[in-house]
Amino acid sequence: MRQDIPGTTMFDGDQAQKGLALNRMCYSFNSAENRAAFLKNEEGYCGQFGLTEEQRAAVKSRNVLAMIAAGGNVYYLAKLAGIFGLNVQDIGAQQTGATVDQFKEKLAAAGR
Amino acid sequence: MAKIIGGVATTHVPSIGKAIAENKQNDPYWKPFFRGFDYVHYWLAREKPDVAVVFSNDHGLNFFLDKLPTFAVGAASEYRNQDEGWGIPVSRAIAGDPALSWHIINRLVADEFDITMCQEMLIDHAVTIPMTLMWPGETWPVKIVPVSINTVQHPLPSLKRCLSLGRSVGRAIQSYPQDLRVMMVGTGGLSHQLDGKRAGFINKEFDKLCMDKLVGEPEALARYSIHDWVEQAGAQGVEFLNWIAMRGALTGQVSEAHRNYHIPISNTAAATVVYDNRDEAARRAA
């Protein structure tokens, strides 16, 4: 598959293989009990799911672009972001280097 | 015989579930979206469907990336929702129609669509939010047959393939002996991108083109590659696969009865359409 859309990572077989452990951990966050366990002992929880060093560092830094580079899929990462009370405007702002207000304004501007 | 009465397609953004739970339908931010459902409610009250076939994509509730079917058809007597980890309220369960599901499954496989059959299937917000938007009351007046399309992990099925899948579902329903009024639902979209430096991408002109072409010329949209679709509609804009499958299942004379389009709801260009489907016999009688 061509990979030439700027600012876009196709979640393909390469990404899926790379991100399996990270995405599996995020999938576990469908359970409130698991979300609480993560908050209680983040590093231990990441270890339990066998995250790579790159994935652990990305989670620790809360950096969504780094999580995507480490194979994270955005639908799964959104479950992780939810634990920190972040919605898709918050993570959109973070990924584009904007404030949340600037990001929301960009969305609104697309409709004008 | 079963009759296909028409279809509804709508955005399924999770935050809509929160807005409903918090009664924000008339807030200035939400009103332009929710008021688009006044006509949908009128149409549903007039058309009185018995069953809805719902084309949608799972976001990590029923399926994980370890085993991800390209196409999966539910064959359960009841479909439950569960915690999706995003803080949206858990929806009440929706009844299924296993006999119709198995008829569709048999016909799809006979038609060489090698689908996955699910006697148990959790439904996520991509099903429950459109259902709640269409029927905000306490009970569901319809049963559902959920059809799950992979829009998450590439390679995705092509637009052409999803249009053909919908057509095969439409033919299956037309051959079902029971007198049922069946509607099609397609969920998700339109243009949006959640991930990467291109997050926040929305393409109003392309969305308009999609809605204009989908009614009478879906083949024109089926010519796009997935790569080109991501470029034009954003990484998650590929949820349009559910829309084109819905359109494919409308096998008669199709016309647009309603369209509502508003930017933004969350990070998404929000759209709702209603299509009427008049079958050949009705057309000849008219």
Q: Which percentage of chain B shows pLDDT scores above 90?
A: 95
Q: How many CB atoms lie within 10 A of CB B284?
A: 7
- Contact between residue B273 and residue B184 where contact means Cβ atoms under 8 Å apart: no
pLDDT for B180 equals 98
Please tell me the distance in Å from B235's CA to the nearest CA on chain A. 7
pLDDT for B258 equals 98
- Kindly report, residue by residue over B50-65, the tens digit of the pLDDT: 999 999 999 999 999 9
Mean pLDDT of B229-247: 98
pLDDT for A3 equals 58
pLDDT for B86 equals 85
DSSP H/E element including B231: helix B226-233
- Contact between residue A74 and residue A8 where contact means Cβ atoms under 8 Å apart: no
Q: Which percentage of chain B shows pLDDT scores above 70?
A: 98
Distance CA B153, CA A15 (A): 9
Average pLDDT, chain B: 96
User: Using CB atoms, which residue from A7, A16, A31 is nearest to B153?
Assistant: A16
Amino acid found at B71: F
**Which residues share a beta bridge with B6?**
B183, B276
- Contact between residue B221 and residue B213 where contact means Cβ atoms under 8 Å apart: yes
- Kindly report, residue by residue over A73-94, the tens digit of the pLDDT: 999 999 999 999 999 999 999 9
- Contact between residue B20 and residue B150 where contact means Cβ atoms under 8 Å apart: no
For the cut 80, the answer to whether the pLDDT of residue B280 exceeds it is no
Mean pLDDT of B84-97: 93
Q: Which DSSP state fits A38? A: H
B16, B19, B21, B22 alpha-carbon torsion, rounded to 10°: 180
For the cut 70, the answer to whether the pLDDT of residue B242 exceeds it is yes
Task: Return the closest-CA partner of residue B193 out of B147, B229, B243, B225.
Answer: B229
Mean pLDDT of B21-42: 97
Which residues numbered 8-47 in A keep a CB inside 8 Å of some CB on B?
8-13, 16, 19-20, 23-24, 26-27, 29-32, 35
pLDDT for B283 equals 60
- Kindly report, residue by residue over A6-33, the tens digit of the pLDDT: 999 999 999 999 999 999 999 999 999 9
- Residue A76 touches partner B, C-beta closer than 8 Å: yes
For the cut 70, the answer to whether the pLDDT of residue B181 exceeds it is yes
For the cut 70, the answer to whether the pLDDT of residue B285 exceeds it is no
- Residue A64 touches partner B, C-beta closer than 8 Å: yes
- Contact between residue B174 and residue B2 where contact means Cβ atoms under 8 Å apart: yes
Task: Return the closest-CA partner of residue B64 out of A91, A24, A66, A83.
Answer: A24
The per-residue DSSP string of B109-178 comes to HHTT--PEEESS-B--HHHHHHHHHH--SSS-SSEEEEEEE--SSSSPPPHHHHHHHHHHHHHHHHT--S
Catalytic, out of B59, B103, B192, B262: B192
For the cut 70, the answer to whether the pLDDT of residue A5 exceeds it is yes
What six digits make up the tokens of A21? 């452990």
Q: Which DSSP state fits B1? A: -
Mean pLDDT of B202-225: 98
For the cut 50, the answer to whether the pLDDT of residue A1 exceeds it is no
Mean pLDDT of B16-21: 95
Task: Calculate ∠ Cα B88-A87-A69, nearest 5°.
Answer: 120
Does B65 contact A73 at a Cβ distance shorter than 8 Å?
Answer: yes
For the cut 90, the answer to whether the pLDDT of residue B193 exceeds it is yes
pLDDT for B196 equals 97
What six digits make up the tokens of B69? 């079917």
- Kindly report, residue by residue over B115-173, the tens digit of the pLDDT: 999 999 999 999 999 999 999 988 999 999 999 999 999 999 999 999 999 999 999 99
